[in-house]
Amino acid sequence: MSIATAQQSSGSILELIAQAKTRESAMFTEAEGKTLLSSFGIDTPQGVELELGAPVPQHLREPLVVKAVSKTLVHKSDAGGVKVGITAAELPAVTEAMKASLAAAGHQLEGVLVEEMIPAGHEIIVGAVRAPGLGWTVMVGLGGILVEVFEDVAFGLAPLNDTQILGMLNELKGMKVLDGARGGIKADIPALVDLIGKLAGPHGLLAALPDDVQEIDLNPIIVSESRAVAVDARFVVGKVEEDAAATTRSASTTDFSPLFRPARIAVLGASGKRPNMANRFIQNITAGGFAGTIIPVNPTADTLEGLPAIGSLAELTEPVDYAFVALPGGRVAQALSTGKGMVRFAQVVSSGFGEVEEGKELEAELIRTVKDAGIRLIGPNCLGTHSSAGKLSFVPQAPLTAGTTAVISQSGGLSVDILRVGAASGIDFHSVVSIGNSADVSAAELLAAHLEDDEVQVIGLYLESLSIARDVMDVLTTAVTRKPVVLLAGGRTQGGSRAATSHTGALAGNHRLWPAIARQAGITLVDSIGDFASALHALSTLDLSVKPAGNEAVLFGNGGGASVLGADALDRQGISTTPLPDAIIAELESLEVPPGNGFHNPIDVPAGTLAVKKGAVAEDILGVVLGGTEPAVLITHLNVGIIQRNLGATHGDVTGTIIDSIAVARDKSKSNTHQILVLKTDGSEDTEAMITDYSARARKINIPVFATFEDAALATRAVLEQSIQIHQPTLSAKGK
């Protein structure tokens, strides 16, 4: 619709809102809602609201539908307030019956809405509900039993473009039904997408609605072969909730490199009498080889941890890049105020700020102080910043091998686990920043900086707040540079968060909104710290200039049962293991190897075959596969204990040779196939030790290694999802 019409209708929307507030239901009448819908080009049935006893106007074509009008009625059918397929002549009798059944349910019939009956089609529910910090969340589901019982719904965040709307529809398990499965009606999907776009698109109705409108249900929309018509409309007016994300973000101008490579660090809070977190911080970075200057700040001590101290930041003669602040909460602002113009980043690990009600004012004061002092604040209520290249860390014996994986974490404790578990999984970190309350520097701002930083190639996020995730989404959907992003989200199981009048409100739980944000932002969402580490390990180890196509895997390794389980694990992540073409199988069969091999897919060979050429046979086998096909991934799995115990004495380092052969076959073929390795343990100490060595060897030649098929399958999904984002920035990301 044109802007002019949108403005015209916004005046009348305010009137509708005022009227709705006078009703017990707090809703627009159905007729009002439908008029509003049609002013935005959304198809609704022809109809009129009639006073009791009034005749049906000539222009309405039978069959007709009669619906009760009553201030208190919400679910009309439940109270006998809907009658479909009647003639005009039947209206008086229908009205009488309706009056009685409404009275029995405690409602008074005030009038009737008479409208044309829309021919049969699929019943779809489309709804929208405002969520604090997120704006409009939009739901689509298949009406009737599929929504009620199976809750087969998909969510998205407005504004939505057509590609995103189609993406939501495709997420529905019942989508096949819409496509006309088993001889049913083939729904006019483009008409449905168009309707949802008129509601939730950039210029749609939602964008024009004032804050007072909180929930909308179009339940159902009847989608036939040639039309999508909203036959019911519920607009709920409610209290405006405070919108945490309503603040507009201004683009960051901060250069974060001094944070990750600080030359001078001030430490506030270390004690000469009772060593605490700040003392440990100094000990940790000293032990880690931090090469710059550490300046303890303490009003009473001359030296701390063997280093000369200054009394306050006012005594600084040169700026510091990073101040680690572990003072009692109440003293932080004052202490930082003395560092005006002399501190680039201050990380306040102290708690007792905005995370508790009584600390809100303290946090506001802290923000005012750092703004005034020209300091960028990280935290408060966090643990610190880890930067491998900067030899800066908040954990003892931190893994400091510099890498390309940057993590931003809303939880301090978990950021320690991320570092430890991640390093054990083969991740070399660029950085891990624990952002705590993110009162100043936000996850979105750091992410934007990482996207511009060549030293960062893969980004991991641990978030607990949907509104922070929404800010992250906004950065990703408008960013020029795209990098793989993996999200571990905390608090995903919470159910519907509000007492809702609408279906949509009842279904808009966190567990549905996280996947919606992840899908729209092109982020891979994972469930556990192990999965987080697996995904980041694969993404940071593989050469991501490779462009895998499709979602097929070839499995190669020893152990028939293992292969079958591997294929199952892949299948659960949506990756298929289809048989190889006959020509390739024939070529594999012509290789000079002992009998007993299965050359379909999975390619499953006994240890005796792997021993051929002391393991270098792997190069031949993989060469044949990559010469004739181009699966998205080729997963080699080796039972290291069995191979080395059976073959080690006679054939030497077969496992190592196989690993090297994978890289040789990969490099020779130049195919768009990623190589992934699963090294299975038998639990013995010897084997575990060998696996540690082999894993390091494989990683050096850009082959990620996993202990189980489940981990490898999860990582494969992450790699395939993120490859799409990197190589073909989707319309979902750009078409706003």
List of residues contacting ligand ADP (CB under 6 A): 45, 65, 67, 75-77, 82, 84, 115, 117-118, 123, 219-220, 222, 231-232
The distance of closest approach from Cβ of residue 119 to ligand ADP in the complex, given in angstroms and rounded to an integer, is 8
Tell me how far, at minimum, the Cβ of 229 lies from ligand ADP, in Å.
8
Query: Judged by CB, which is closer to Mg ion: 436, or 505?
Result: 505
Query: CB 394 → ligand ADP: shortest distance, Å?
Result: 55
User: What secondary structure letter does DSSP report for 249?
Assistant: P
Residue 167 exposure: Cα atoms within 13 Å on the Cβ side:
21
Nearer to ligand ADP, 117 or 634 (CB): 117
To the nearest whole angstrom, how small is the minimum distance from the Cβ of residue 9 to ligand ADP? Answer: 22
Evaluate whether 375 touches 343 at the Cβ level (below 8 Å).
Answer: yes
Q: Which does 631 bind (CB under 5 to 8 A by kind): ligand ADP, Mg ion, none?
A: none
Q: What residues from 399 to 458 belong to the interface with Mg ion (CB under 5 A)?
A: none
Using the minimum distance from each CB to ligand ADP, give the nearer residue, 66 or 320: 66
| 666 interface partner picked from Mg ion, ligand ADP, none, CB below 5 to 8 A per type | none
Q: Which ranges constitute the DSSP H helices of 246-386?
A: 257-260, 277-287, 329-337, 360-373
Task: Provide the minimum distance between the beta carbon of 217 and ligand ADP in the complex, in angstroms, as a whole number.
Answer: 8
| Span 169-198, contacts to Mg ion by CB under 5 A | none
Q: Which of the listed partners (ligand ADP, Mg ion, none) does 75 bind, with a CB threshold of 5 to 8 Å by partner kind?
A: ligand ADP
Nearest alpha carbon to residue 558 among 675, 666, 623, 647: 647
> Between residues 114 and 617, which has the closer beta carbon with respect to ligand ADP?
114
Angle (nearest 5°) at CA 7 between 2 and 11: 145
Judged by CB under 5 A, the stretch of 22-30, 219-227, 321-329, 365-373 that binds Mg ion is 219-227
CA distances from 617 to 271, 650, 665, 702 (A): 63, 16, 11, 20
For residue 571, the 8-state DSSP code is H
**Which tokens go with 474?**
């906004």
Here the tokens at position 304 are: 């701390």
Stretch that binds Mg ion, among 166-174, 224-232, 253-261, 487-495 (CB under 5 A): 224-232
Binding segment (CB under 5 A) for Mg ion, from list 34-42, 58-66, 181-189, 231-239: 231-239
299 φ, ψ to 5°?
-65, -20
**Smaller CB separation from ligand ADP, 78 or 361:** 78
**Which of ligand ADP, Mg ion, none does residue 115 bind (CB under 5 to 8 Å by kind)?**
ligand ADP
The listed partner (Mg ion, ligand ADP, none) that binds 117, CB under 5 to 8 Å by sort, is ligand ADP
Least distance to ligand ADP, CB of residue 418, Å: 47
Distances (CA, A) of 641 to 55, 557, 644, 645, 693: 87, 13, 5, 6, 13
- The residue (of 143 and 704) whose beta carbon lies closer to ligand ADP is 143
For residues 496-516, one letter each, b for 16 or more C-beta atoms within 10 angstroms of the residue's C-beta and e for the rest, the string is bbbebbbbbbbbbbbebbbbb
Contacts 24+ apart (CB under 8 A), 325-328: 325/268, 325/269, 325/349, 325/350, 326/267, 326/268, 326/269, 326/270, 326/276, 326/277, 326/278, 326/281, 326/350, 327/268, 327/269, 328/352
For residue 231, the minimal CB distance to ligand ADP (Å) is: 4
State in angstroms the smallest separation of the CB of 44 from ligand ADP.
Answer: 8
Residue 65 binding target from ligand ADP, Mg ion, none, CB below 5 to 8 Å by type: ligand ADP
List Cα–Cα distances, 632 to 141, 241, 546, in angstroms.
32, 46, 10
Please answer whether residues 430 and 387 qualify as being in contact, where contact means their C-beta atoms are separated by less than 8 angstroms.
Answer: yes
Among the residue ranges 24-32, 117-125, 213-221, 590-598, the one whose residues contact Mg ion (CB under 5 A): 213-221
Nearer to ligand ADP, 76 or 666 (CB): 76
Residue 152 or 440 with smaller CB distance to Mg ion: 152
Q: Are 215 and 504 in contact (CB under 8 A)?
A: yes
**Closer to ligand ADP by Cβ: residue 219 or 405:** 219
Q: Which does 82 bind (CB under 5 to 8 A by kind): ligand ADP, Mg ion, none?
A: ligand ADP
Alpha helices in 596-674 (DSSP H): 607-610, 617-628, 640-651, 654-669
Applying CB under 5 A, the site for Mg ion has a residue count of 2
Minimum gap (Å) between residue 329 Cβ and ligand ADP: 52
Q: Report what 552 binds from ligand ADP, Mg ion, none; CB cut-off 5-8 Å by kind.
A: none
Q: Does 219 bind Mg ion (CB under 5 A)?
A: yes
Using DSSP, state whether 600 is helix, strand or coil.
coil
Interacting stretch for Mg ion, rule CB under 5 A, among 93-101, 185-193, 216-224, 347-355?
216-224
Q: Are 365 and 333 in contact (CB under 8 A)?
A: yes
CA atoms of 384 and 673, how far apart (whole Å): 39
In the complex, the smallest distance separating the C-beta of residue 219 from Mg ion, rounded to whole angstroms, is 4
Tokens of 682: 């038998």
Q: Is there binding between residue 620 and Mg ion (CB under 5 A)?
A: no
Asked whether the beta carbons of 285 and 273 are under 8 A apart, the reply is no
**If we measure between CA atoms, which residue out of 645, 641, 638, 680 comes closest to residue 660?**
638
Of 152 and 232, nearer to Mg ion (C-beta) is: 232
The token pair at 185 is: 């009606």
Binding range to Mg ion, per CB under 5 A, among 101-109, 214-222, 295-303, 369-377:
214-222
* Helix boundaries (H) for 338-387: 360-373
Chain residue whose CB lies nearest Mg ion = 232
Smallest distance, ligand ADP to C-beta of residue 113, A: 9
Residue number, 65 or 488, with CB nearest to ligand ADP: 65
Q: Does 232 bind Mg ion (CB under 5 A)?
A: yes
Of the two residues 232 and 453, which places its CB atom closer to ligand ADP in the complex?
Answer: 232
CA distance 305 to 327: 17
For ligand ADP, the closer CB: 115 or 445: 115
| Residue of 678, 587, 583 lying closest to 634 (CA atoms) | 678
Where do contacts with Mg ion occur on this chain (CB under 5 A)? 219, 232
